[in-house]
Amino acid sequence: MPELRELRVESGHIEIGAALTLTEIERRLDGGVPLLAELFPQFASRLIRNGATLGGNLGTGSPIGDSAPVLLALDASLVLTDADGERVLPLADYFTGYRQSVRRPGELIRAVRVPLPLSPVTAFHKIAKRRFDDISSVAVAFALDIEDGLVRTARIGLGGVAATPIRSLATEAALEGKPWSARTAEAAARVLRGEGTPMSDHRASALYRSAMLGQSLLKLHAQTTEAVSS
């Protein structure tokens, strides 16, 4: 269906067809969305990316699908369509429970919309037993706007710590309006460790998952500080 395989750059957003493979998206964007560019090499293997789609990854409603935390951090919306027409819904409002969503019977995900402009400070941290071709124990995506040393906006998407992918709203609030300093990062990391309802299973304990959440934010701060100082 060609209607599900379009990629368009509009004045206010990028629209990515739900049936484009990750490899096709990667090649056509060519690094134009750095957070997605960081996701792609960590998403399974090239063989899988040649067939996997954003529509499929989101449609399953899995709490550990790697694309959802990234798209949540990008503040993405979904274009849902059925015989009666289309509606646009923030991805943050899409998931309602474990493998459940607001999608109605007969409704398809037609496209994903990523708003522009993009936040300049981004990172995707996937914690898994193997670096590549493995299911995440925890996945964290960051998108921050930092101006004059202050965090103007923060968007953080989490996977593997709740029944659905979630936005880290409390941590975002702990960052916004604050200086991007070690003290702010440490305080926000403490908040981030308490986000979600992580569980223990064969991949990781709940305590480990919580610890990795906080560590991811400290890692982001260290990386951005090193980039500025160098």
User: Are 63 and 128 part of one and the same domain?
Assistant: no
Residues 21-69: tens digit of each pLDDT: 999 999 999 999 999 999 999 999 999 999 999 999 999 999 989 999 9
The contacts found for 131-138 with CB under 8 angstroms, 24 or more apart, are 131/42, 132/41, 132/42, 132/45, 133/44, 133/45, 133/48, 135/64, 135/203, 136/64, 136/66, 136/160, 137/203, 137/204, 137/208, 137/209, 137/212, 138/198, 138/204, 138/209, 138/212, 138/213, 138/216
152 versus 136: the higher-pLDDT residue is: 152
- Token pair listed for 213: 């959440």
Tens-place pLDDT, residues 154-210: 999 999 999 999 999 999 999 999 999 999 999 999 999 999 999 898 889 999 999
Mean pLDDT of 117-141: 89
- pLDDT grade for 111, boundaries at 50, 70 and 90: very high
> With contact defined as beta carbons under 8 Å apart, do 60 and 95 qualify?
no
CATH of the domain at 189: 3.30.390.50
> In this predicted model, what pLDDT tens digit does every residue of 10-28 receive, in sequence order?
999 999 999 999 999 999 9
Q: Are residues 44 and 84 in the same domain?
A: yes
3-state helix, strand, coil in the chain (%, to 5): 35, 30, 35
Domain span at 141: 121-229
d(CA 92, CA 156): 11
Domain boundary among 115, 131, 153: 115
Q: Token pair for residue 198?
A: 């992580």
The pLDDT of residue 228 is 52
In degrees rounded to 5, what are phi and psi of residue 115?
-70, 150
Q: What is the pTM of this model?
A: 0.95
Is residue 155 left, alpha or beta, with left meaning phi > 0 and alpha meaning psi from -120 to 50? beta
135 in the same domain as 51: no
Q: Answer with the one of 115, 149, 184 that is the final residue of a domain.
A: 115
Predicted local confidence at residue 203, as pLDDT: 84
Residues 159 and 55 in one domain: no
Note whether 81 and 140 are same-domain residues. Answer: no
**In which band, very low, low, confident or very high, does the pLDDT at 226 lie, cut at 50, 70 and 90?**
confident
Domain check: are 59 and 134 in the same one?
A: no
CATH number of 34's domain: 3.30.465.10
Q: What is the pLDDT of residue 192?
A: 98
From CA 194, how far away is CA 222, in angstroms rounded? 21
Do 53 and 88 share a domain, yes or no?
yes
Q: Do 140 and 124 form a contact (C-beta atoms < 8 A)?
A: yes
Residue 129 has pLDDT above 60, yes or no: yes
Residues 86 and 143 in one domain: no
Does 229 have pLDDT greater than 60?
no
In this structure, are 125 and 107 located in the same domain?
no
Among the listed ranges 38-42, 126-130, 184-188, 216-220, which one has the minimum average pLDDT value? Answer: 126-130
Please tell me whether residues 14 and 46 are part of one structural domain.
yes
Torsion, Cα 46 167 163 207, to 10 degrees, reads 90
What was the pLDDT predicted at 114? 98
128 with 225, same domain: the answer is yes
Domain-terminating residue out of 115, 148, 176: 115
Say if CB 112 and CB 65 are below 8 A apart.
no
Number of domains making up the chain? 2
Same domain flag for 111 and 128: no
pLDDT of residue 207: 95
List the one residue out of 65, 63, 89, 62 whose CA is nearest residue 77: 89
Which positions ≥6 away from 105 have C-beta within 8 Å? none
Please give the C-alpha separations between residue 127 and each of 8, 35, 130, 212, in angstroms, as whole numbers. 32, 16, 8, 8
Rounded Cα gap, residues 78 and 66, in angstroms? 16
